[in-house]
Structure 1
Amino acid sequence: MTLLQVEGLGISFGGLRAVNDVGFSASAGEIVSVIGPNGAGKTTLFNMISGVYLPDRGRVMLDGQDVTRFEPHLLARMGMTRTFQNLQIFQDMTVLENVIVGFHLAERGHLLADLLALPGTKRRSAEVREKAMALLTRVRLDKAAEQVAGNLSYGALKRLEIVRALAMSPRVLLLDEPAAGCNAVETEEIDAFIAELAATGIGILLVEHDMKMVMRISNHIVVLDHGEKIAEGKPDEVSRNPEVISAYLGTVDAEQDEQDEEDEKEATHAVG
């Protein structure tokens, strides 16, 4: 079942076309990765899909409904949540409190009942706390529940941000570089968790630079370069695509040229 349908999305900034005519779909339980060199338009695409940016053209369909002009909080209530490349964690709150915030954003409680601390409110708070602890247990953060979030390692904070997004019971989850800045062990933990989430039926849209991780867990890959979709398909198909190879080899060659120049300067200085 198709949960997310992206059709011909495009946006320009000051006359510069950042993303042009990009489309793809994501089904329940599927991991779709969006990859490309730096500046390819990946995060801009994410921002349009999640309601942060309003596209100039194209549309976003969530479970058959056009949600192109919906704001992020409305999309979250409808079942689309996301994480960000830069952590959006409440550093001074506890780990548990960060997850509980996610539940409170999702629930439709009565303000008066909350202010009066009625029995129903206390019962609901206890239930939310129990659910939050269950989510933390899934990522092995339950023992850190009462710690201040700012004291966690970077990898743990990445897992916490994913858990908070899960508190809103998403059907589609957008993950923007969930393994960025993580070491090898933390990356393995995160990609195993993502695969586990997809197995529960959540549609996953992933932006990630770790190609080993992308190739390992993705069902489908969309490749962007300079805002254009240049390829899409299964991991083995994408890895053999000449346009994809050219886009990435160009980046590698440029980096190698810079390194060669540095090596030459060091050698000249040593001789002098």
Structure 2
Amino acid sequence: MSDLLRVENLGISFGGLRAVNQVGFSVKPGEILSVIGPNGAGKTTLFNMISGIYMPGDGRVVLNGDDVTGMRPDLLARRGLSRTFQNLQIFQNMTVLDNAIAGYHLTESGSLLADLFRLPGARARVRAAREGAMALLARVGLDRAAETEAGSLSYGKLKRLEIARALALDPKVLLLDEPAAGCNAVETEEIDQMIAEVARSGVAILLVEHDMKMVMRISSHIVVLDHGEKIAEGDPATVSRDPQVISAYLGTEAAEAADA
């Protein structure tokens, strides 16, 4: 099975400080690859290079066989790469349904005149977006809250809504930046079940997460960063027992999670 995403020796510096240095890995359809490491290890910087927010100083990003290094996020989204962020990017005063519909705007085609005069093509696009958004909300368990103002939802449900909106782009590769941050144990379990279900549909998932029990439970593969360098890579059991990883970051928590 060919790689959907391949990261080749990515590196970047800020003001002489090497934030990420020669990091590489690949993700296949249906895999969940987690990137872990202490705060300041370079995880989000790595995500920002892959998703087109930062231009790498070195290396390449290859998406579905094409070199997309430094490509704008909107163009990457059209090619099948979508992401969420550490901080929620939700329209709090809009309904849950309208937030989900917003995810379809990037891939919609049509003219301004058609939208302005509500021509049949425009009405059909609106109807299709609404139907698609409702299907996504059902997929993440939020369909009954469709007409609820998003700002009234719990934090865990807002996280699920953000993932639903990212899925509106029908991604081949989905980058999730701390999707369980701030969630309680029940919400975290709901989110990791949802991530696993998305992966089973064939989407390649790249995950940054600090909840080690969640990481060990759902990851196919793990990459460990420390001070911008990749210090380990492998399946959860292998990584959790790596002496260098334990020393740099995990302590005994990961080994306990892997054995649980």
TM-score > 0.5 by shorter chain? yes
- Secondary structure in 2 aligned to 1:55? coil
Give the distance between the partners of 1:222 and 1:249, measured in 2 at CA. 13
The equivalent of 1:129 in structure 2 is: 130
* Greater mean deviation of Cα atoms: 46-55 or 100-109: 100-109
CA separation of 1:167 and 1:11: change in aligned 2, threshold 3 A: same
Q: Is the 8 A contact 2:49 2:70 kept in 1?
A: no
Q: In the alignment, what sits opposite 1:99?
A: 100
1:70 is matched by which residue type in structure 2?
A: M
Q: Residues 141-190 of structure 1: CA distance to partner in whole angstroms, max 9, x if unpaired?
A: 11111111111110000000000000010000000000000000000000
Q: Report the Cα distance in structure 1 between the residues aligned to 2:98 and 2:250, rounded to whole angstroms.
A: 44
Corresponding residue for residue 196 of structure 2: 195
The answer to whether the 8 Å contact 1:37/1:251 transfers is: no
SS at match of 2:6: strand
**For the residues of structure 1 that align with 2:252 and 2:45, how far apart are their CA atoms?**
20
Q: In the alignment, which residue of structure 2 is the partner of 1:117?
A: 118
Please report how far the alpha carbon of residue 110 of structure 1 lies from its aligned counterpart in structure 2 after TM superposition.
2.2
Alpha-carbon distance in structure 1 between the residues aligned to 2:64 and 2:206? 15
Q: Judging changes above 3 Å, is the alpha-carbon distance between structure 1 residues 140 and 249 closer, same or farther for their aligned structure 2 residues?
A: closer
Residue in 2 aligned with 1:63? 64
Residue equivalent to 1:140: 141
Amino acid at match of 1:221: I
Residue type matched to 1:219 in 2? S
**In structure 1, what is the equivalent of residue 161 of structure 2?**
160
Deviates more, 1:172-181 or 1:98-107: 98-107
Is residue 2:7 matched to residue 1:20?
no
Residue-by-residue CA offset, 1:194-235 (whole Å, 9 max, x unaligned): 000000000000000000000000000000000000000111
Q: Which has the higher helix share?
A: 1
Relative to structure 1, the CA distance from residue 227 to residue 251 in structure 2 (aligned partners, 3 Å threshold; closer, same or farther) is farther
State the AA in 1 paired with 2:230.
Answer: K
1:149 aligns with 2:150: yes
Deviation at 1:69, TM superposition (A): 1.9
Aligned partner of 1:262 in structure 2 is: none
Q: CA deviation at 1:121?
A: 1.5
4+ residue stretches of structure 1 with deviation over 3 A?
249-252
Distance 1:249 1:107 in 2: 44
Structure 2 Cα separation of the partners of residues 62 and 220 of structure 1: 18
Deviations 1:124-157 (A, max 9, x none): 2112111100110111111111111111110000
Q: Secondary structure at the match of 2:244?
A: helix
Alignment correspondent of 1:255? none
Deviation, 1:109, is 2.2
Larger Rg: 1
Give the Cα–Cα distance (whole angstroms) in 1 for the partners of residues 158 and 233 of structure 2: 31
Letter in 2 for 1:50: S
- In structure 1, the residue matched to 2:256 is none
Number of residue pairs matched by the alignment: 252
Quick check: 172-181 or 116-125, which moved more?
A: 116-125
> Which AA in structure 2 matches 1:21?
Q
Q: Which amino acid aligns with 1:169?
A: D
- Cα deviation for residue 120 of structure 1 reads 2.0
**2:240 and 2:250 in contact (8 A); partners too:** no
- Residue 45 of structure 2: aligned partner: 44
SS in 2 for 1:2: coil
Shift of 1:35: 0.3
In the TM superposition, 1:226-237 aligns within 5 A as 226-237=227-238
Check whether the contact 2:97–2:146 (CA below 8 A) recurs between aligned residues. Answer: yes
- Residues 106 and 167 of structure 1 are in contact (CA less than 8 Å); yes or no, is this contact kept in structure 2? no
CA RMSD of aligned residues (A): 1.3
- Normalising to structure 1: TM-score of the pair? 0.90
Q: Distance in 2 between matches of 1:5 and 1:108?
A: 29
Q: Structure 1: state its 5+ residue gaps.
A: 253-272
C-alpha deviation, 1:108, in angstroms: 1.7
Q: Pick closer, same or farther for the CA change 1:83–1:249 going to 2, 3 Å.
A: closer
| Alpha-carbon separation, structure 1, partners of 2:234 and 2:246 | 14
**Shift of residue 250 of structure 1?**
7.0
1:223 aligns with 2:224: yes
Residue 54 (str. 1) matches residue 24 (str. 2): no
Q: Distance in 1 between matches of 2:250 and 2:188?
A: 24
SS of structure 1 residue aligned to 2:103: helix
